[in-house]
Amino acid sequence: MTTPSKKSYTNLRRHIIITLCIAAIIPVIFIGGGVYFEYRKSMTAKIKNQLTSIVMHHKESIERFLHEASAAMRLVVELKSFEEISQQNTLQLIFKTLQIEYNHAFEDIGIIDHKGNHVAYVGTHDLQTRNYSSSIWFKEAMEKQIYISDVFLGYRNIPHFIIAVRQGKGESFWILRATINAYTFGHLVENIRLGRTGEAFIINTDGIYQTRARFGGNVMETVDSNFLNIEHFDDLRLWETEKNEVKLIRAKAWLKNNTWLLIVQQEVDDAFSELFNTRNRAIILFIFGIILVGVVTFLTTELLIKRIEKADKEKELLDEQLIQSQKIASIGEFSAGIAHEINNPLAVINVEAELIQTLFKREDYKKESEFDDIDDSLREIKKQVNRCKEITHKLLNFARKMDSVILEVNMHNLIDEVVAMREREASFMNIAILKEYQAELPLIFSDPSLLRQVILNLINNAIDALAKGGELVIGTRIESVKNGSQKNNSQNDTVVIFIKDSGMGIPEDNLKKIFDPFFTTKPPGKGTGLGLSICHGIIQKLGGSIFAESEVGKGTIFTIKLPIEYK
């Protein structure tokens, strides 16, 4: 089986990253978008309520000021006669009282008779000799008991408006007239601070500013007709508009019997600055979130790809082991067949050698001068034939597929059989195999075929570790389970088999993993693994334990402990 290419893993990595990013980002976009639009809707309602509240509050304040001022003046003319109020001292006292009461909003005050002449005056301007019979405000005041004018310049050439209260009828009427400075009155409106660009101002029905606008538009200037549509309506209006490519949100309400229009406005960007700041922070957080999602996705994908690569490599190793096992099984069957085939001619050779020996024992052959040489040769033939039969017998025993059977096992004999299979090859590699057997080692009950596999595997690993030659020591001993004292026949004793080599040793990091499946220290092409995980499983199955000790540069020792009685 071929391992997936790097390109395959790259494509898989890209697909996983894209999929995970899409799966993570799309819900965030939908949730974030929903939250943003709901928050914008809430902020819009909040801003509109704020503007509405400001307009209504200032409308009430302005109308209350005008009503209370005119009511105070009406009370004065009701309480004072024309003769009394025309006296300078009385009028001076009334003016001072109004100034204190209304925060110096009154600029001057005067008494006008039915002909429009100033009868009495208190103020900073020289208006005592003025006649107002031709003035618009005088004509309006003649028709109404209380008249509040628009802002105008008049004789003083300063923006102001008047409050006129008429007393009496016909030719006997007279007027108490007070002047309100437009700039002082404007403070009631102009002191609004709504964000960075919020402003409030008043215009009349002709579109003339009655108070200053915070950002352009002075008293007595005319409003751009394209900027504001002046029409009568009830209650309050709130809408968004645009001026000089700047979007505004605006609220307006009529004052003073629909003759003054109060306007409160603010730039949309300023009004929604909190929303925009929140949005910008959310965008920054969203970007950082995307980066974090990307990093986490990348790291998760890398971990996943590494695990997939590891799983593929383990699968490949498993496939190689399966193939190797099939090869070994085939070789075993092939070896068994060859052993049987070899045994047949060996048997014939042995029979023929015995027949020749029998023939040469006759008296007539004994006289031949070469009889002794021929007899020695025949004995050597039989000896080598028996040796070959012994080798093929051992090969058959190892290669034969047998069911797991618990038998009495002589560990020394079993180890000797396995060592005999590798002893000749070890000698060629300058490896000396030494045996340190404990005398009178008891028989144990175990599976001999499985034990052969374990011992052979450990010997093979030790020979591989002694590539430059050295010593391989195989030994046995008995350990007492209870107290460590030697008791040859106790069923609680443990038989210990150790295989020690003087090879390169195993690093400490690898020593912790040598019994893990698929772990190997061999380079590619030199095997699919140490097989120690299989050995570990076999020994555990047989009720024993296996462990390793090693020191780099000094060698390794594998120790197997087996119970005498299989449980």
**Dist CA 493 CA 481 (whole Å):** 5
SS3 181: strand
208, β-bridge pairs: 222
CB contact at 8 A, 173 and 142? yes
Chain centroid offset of residue 510 CA: 34
Helix (H) or strand (E) holding 6: helix 6-79
> What was the pLDDT predicted at 487?
45
Residue 388 lies in a domain: no
Q: Locate 434 and state its tokens.
A: 């030494």
Residue 365 lies in a domain: no
**Dist CA 5 CA 17 (whole Å):** 19
Residue 233 lies in a domain: yes
> What was the pLDDT predicted at 216?
76
End-to-end CA distance of the chain: 41
What are the φ and ψ backbone dihedral angles of 172, each rounded to 5 degrees? Answer: -95, 5
* Claim to verify: residue 38 and residue 184 sit in the same structural domain: yes
196, β-bridge pairs: none
| 10-residue averages of pLDDT along the chain (567 residues) | 68 84 83 82 85 88 91 92 91 92 88 90 85 88 90 85 89 90 83 80 90 84 77 86 84 89 89 83 85 86 86 76 62 65 74 74 64 74 75 62 74 92 87 92 90 90 88 92 50 88 89 77 54 86 92 92 86
CB contact at 8 A, 314 and 520? no
For tokens 């001057």, the residue is 108
**Of all residues in the chain, what percent are helix, strand and coil, respectively (each to 5)?**
50, 20, 30
**Which residue from 261, 316, 259, 242 is spatially nearest to 251, judged by alpha carbons?**
261
Q: Which of 271, 301, 331 is the last residue of a domain?
A: 271
Residues with Cβ < 8 Å from 37, sequence gap 6 or more? none
Residue 93 lies in a domain: yes
> What was the pLDDT predicted at 177?
93
CB contact at 8 A, 508 and 548? no
Half-sphere exposure (Cβ direction) of 275: Cα atoms closer than 13 Å? 18
> What was the pLDDT predicted at 486?
45
* Claim to verify: residue 263 and residue 410 sit in the same structural domain: no
Q: Which of 256, 271, 286 is the last residue of a domain?
A: 271
SS3 442: coil
Q: What is the pTM assigned to this prediction?
A: 0.52
- Domain CATH for 174: 3.30.450.20
Residue 105 lies in a domain: yes
**Dist CA 352 CA 354 (whole Å):** 5
* Model confidence pLDDT, tens digit, residues 372-421: 777 777 777 877 777 777 667 666 665 555 556 788 999 999 999 889 88
For tokens 């437009």, the residue is 182
**Dist CA 454 CA 535 (whole Å):** 5
Tally the domains of the chain: 2
- Domain CATH for 417: 3.30.565.10
CA dist list (Å): 435 to 457, 476, 499: 17, 9, 9
Residues in the chain: 567
Residues with Cβ < 8 Å from 128, sequence gap 6 or more? 118, 121
Q: What count of other Cβ atoms lies within 10 Å of the Cβ of residue 444?
A: 24
Sheet with 545-551: strands ordered across: 431-436, 470-480, 493-501, 555-563, 545-551
> What was the pLDDT predicted at 348?
73
Residue 336 lies in a domain: no
100, β-bridge pairs: none
Q: Which of 244, 271, 298 is the last residue of a domain?
A: 271
Residue 169 is which amino acid? K
Q: What count of other Cβ atoms lies within 10 Å of the Cβ of residue 321?
A: 18
**Which residue from 543, 537, 464, 542 is spatially nearest to 499, judged by alpha carbons?**
464
Residue 35 lies in a domain: yes
* Claim to verify: residue 266 and residue 410 sit in the same structural domain: no
**Dist CA 209 CA 221 (whole Å):** 6
SS3 21: helix
> What was the pLDDT predicted at 306?
87
Residues with Cβ < 8 Å from 24, sequence gap 6 or more? 293, 297
SS3 54: helix
> What was the pLDDT predicted at 485?
45
**Dist CA 52 CA 192 (whole Å):** 13
CB contact at 8 A, 210 and 110? no
SS3 150: coil
DSSP strands (E only) in 94-182:
106-112, 118-122, 146-148, 160-167, 174-181
> What was the pLDDT predicted at 367?
60
Owning domain of residue 494: 405-563
Residue 333 lies in a domain: no
